């Protein structure tokens, strides 16, 4: 295969595995391939590697290594957190609270619980995609078992008031789960400060391998397993451990933490540079929160164009972008996140997401802004729907 020439601005979908991460994984495919459950040297090496990775992830979360459970990715972590907590606590009540902007790994999981007879409250968000702590408080009842609110949204990048929600849940004796798939390795996380009981993360979002993730499970929190089998991961995630993947995730977590401060500053500056160019175009507006957003997320809507048409043309210009979550690509209809935030036409179907990463340069950002301007202009020129200056 040739080397791609794409300007990659879809880091919320996935990231390249770092060379150092690949190097750390390779010996565990070949030389040190042992099943961690064995009694010999090869097995001990795998166990040691799992211990090291568990500590590396725990250090970034500010928790004890024992509180980190390895999974097969963000979706599985979300499922295990929500179904696992619900099934373990079903005698305490059958009510669960979440928001309308969660990833489908959460929304479809709570939908599955509603089919089992659970009552689900899906909270609204404001125009910036933020949930109100007061709404969470009002929704909590005597039968509430779990609140699940994501740390940052994967489409519009809005950060949620998770520390306040965590404090509220702790006071009310309700479990709190947060999907931190888009934040782990990108912005600081301290599970004690967030007061969360469960937190999901996924390695491929921070330059680790795909198909491996983790769930933080606070000491004392009981979960029911999704799968039944061996004793791996305290019986909560049976199956032979993916040692190379887990080793890679640990190294990726450690490296992300080392450069987090500088990358946050650098990517925020690039984000603002890109936004300034995009918002200088007529009838283009920002989606999500102007300040409380991920350092690498730009999501804009242009009136009079279809976001999907812009996205396809960005690809033809060699720029990888997205209209929303990778998991909804190909499914028709507007983004459920924008709908939940009350975004209406002409903005609803005209959105594009550009997410920056550690290899993104100012030149790439400028090239993306140039391409976007040309594409929007040419689509509008041939659109009978576009009426310049008529959009408040």
Catalytic residues: 327
Answer for which of 213, 307, 324, 357 binds ligand PLP (CB under 6 A) is 213
Residue 291's CB: how many other CB atoms inside 10 A? 6
Is 73 a binding residue for ligand PLP by CB under 6 A? The answer is: yes
Is 245 a binding residue for ligand PLP by CB under 6 A? The answer is: no
Task: Kindly indicate which of the ranges 68-76, 84-92, 133-141, 330-338 contains the residues binding ligand PLP, using the contact rule CB under 6 A.
Answer: 68-76
Residue-wise DSSP of 234-287: GGTS-S---HHHHHHHHHHHHHHHHTHHHHHHHHHHHHHHHHHHHHTSTTEEE-
Maximum CA extent, the chain: 73
The SS3 of residue 202 is: strand
Task: Kindly indicate which of the ranges 67-75, 267-275, 277-285, 369-377 contains the residues binding ligand PLP, using the contact rule CB under 6 A.
Answer: 67-75
Type and span of the H or E element at 366: helix 362-381
> Edge-to-edge, what's the strand order for the sheet holding 119-123?
68-71, 213-217, 198-202, 175-179, 144-148, 95-99, 119-123
Is 98 a binding residue for ligand PLP by CB under 6 A? The answer is: no
Is 202 a binding residue for ligand PLP by CB under 6 A? The answer is: yes
CA distance between the termini of the chain: 48
| Position closest to ligand PLP via CB | 74
Among the residues of 317-361, which ranges form H helices?
A: 336-340
Minimum Å gap between C-beta 92 and ligand PLP is: 26
Minimum Å gap between C-beta 76 and ligand PLP is: 7
Q: Which residues from 321-340 bind ligand PLP, rule CB under 6 A?
A: 325-327
Q: How far is CA 34 from CA 23, 43, 70, 312, in A?
A: 18, 5, 18, 45
Answer for which of 179, 233, 241, 263 binds ligand PLP (CB under 6 A) is 179
Is 74 a binding residue for ligand PLP by CB under 6 A? The answer is: yes
Minimum Å gap between C-beta 264 and ligand PLP is: 18
Selection from 348, 355, 360 nearest residue 322 by Cα: 355
Site string for ligand PLP, 77-96 (x = CB under 6 A): -x------------------
Answer for which of 25, 60, 61, 105 binds ligand PLP (CB under 6 A) is 105
Task: Kindly indicate which of the ranges 159-167, 177-185, 227-235, 293-301 contains the residues binding ligand PLP, using the contact rule CB under 6 A.
Answer: 177-185
Secondary structure, 3-state, 57-106: HHHHHCCCHHHEEEECCHHHHHHHHHHHHHHHCCCCCCEEEEECCCCHHH
Antiparallel, parallel or unpaired: β 175-179 and 213-217: unpaired
Q: Which residues from 137-166 bind ligand PLP, rule CB under 6 A?
A: 150, 154
Minimum Å gap between C-beta 57 and ligand PLP is: 14
Is 75 a binding residue for ligand PLP by CB under 6 A? The answer is: yes
Contact 153, 335 (CB under 8 A): no
Is 182 a binding residue for ligand PLP by CB under 6 A? The answer is: yes
Nearer to ligand PLP, 302 or 337 (CB): 337
Site string for ligand PLP, 287-326 (x = CB under 6 A): --------------------------------------xx
Determine the Cα angle at 156 with ends 150 and 162, to 5°. Answer: 25
Footprint of ligand PLP (CB under 6 A)? 73-75, 78, 103, 105, 150, 154, 179, 181-182, 202, 204, 213, 325-327
């Amino acid at each position: 295969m040739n080397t791609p020439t794409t300007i990659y601005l879809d880091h919320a979908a996935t990231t390249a595995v770092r060379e150092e991460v690949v190097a750390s994984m390779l010996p565990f495919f070949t030389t040190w391939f042992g099943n961690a459950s064995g009694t010999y040297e090869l097995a001990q090496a795998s166990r040691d590697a799992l211990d090291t990775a568990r500590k590396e992830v725990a250090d970034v979360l500010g928790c004890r290594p024992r509180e980190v459970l390895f999974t097969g990715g963000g979706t599985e972590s979300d499922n295990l957190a929500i179904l696992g907590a619900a099934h373990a606590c079903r005698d305490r009540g059958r009510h669960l609270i979440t928001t309308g902007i969660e990833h489908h790994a959460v929304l479809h999981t709570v939908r599955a619980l509603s089919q089992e007879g659970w009552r689900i409250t899906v909270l609204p968000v404001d125009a910036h995609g933020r949930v109100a702590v007061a709404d969470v408080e009002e929704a909590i009842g005597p039968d509430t078992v779990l609140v699940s609110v994501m740390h940052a949204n994967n489409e519009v990048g809005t950060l949620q008031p998770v520390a306040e929600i965590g404090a509220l849940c702790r006071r009310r004796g309700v479990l709190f789960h947060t999907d931190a798939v888009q934040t782990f390795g990108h912005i600081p996380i301290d599970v004690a400060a967030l007061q969360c009981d469960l937190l999901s993360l996924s390695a491929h979002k921070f330059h680790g391998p795909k198909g491996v993730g983790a769930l933080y499970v606070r000491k004392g929190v009981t979960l029911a397993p999704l799968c039944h089998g061996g004793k791996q991961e305290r019986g909560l995630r049976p199956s032979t451990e993916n040692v190379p993947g887990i080793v890679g995730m640990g190294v990726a977590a450690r490296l992300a933490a080392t450069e987090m401060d500088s990358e946050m500053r650098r990517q925020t500056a690039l984000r603002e540079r890109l936004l300034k160019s995009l918002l200088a175009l007529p009838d283009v507006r920002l989606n999500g929160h102007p300040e409380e957003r991920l350092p690498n997320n730009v999501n804009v809507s242009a009136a009079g164009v279809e976001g999907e048409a812009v996205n396809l043309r960005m690809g033809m210009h060699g720029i990888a972008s997205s209209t929303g979550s990778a998991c909804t690509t190909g499914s028709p209809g507007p983004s459920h996140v924008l709908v939940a935030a009350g975004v209406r036409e002409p903005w609803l179907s005209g959105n594009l997401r550009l997410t920056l990463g550690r290899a993104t340069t100012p030149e790439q950002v400028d090239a993306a802004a140039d391409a976007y301007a040309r594409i929007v202009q040419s689509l509008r020129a041939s659109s009978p729907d576009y009426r310049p200056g008529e959009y408040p």
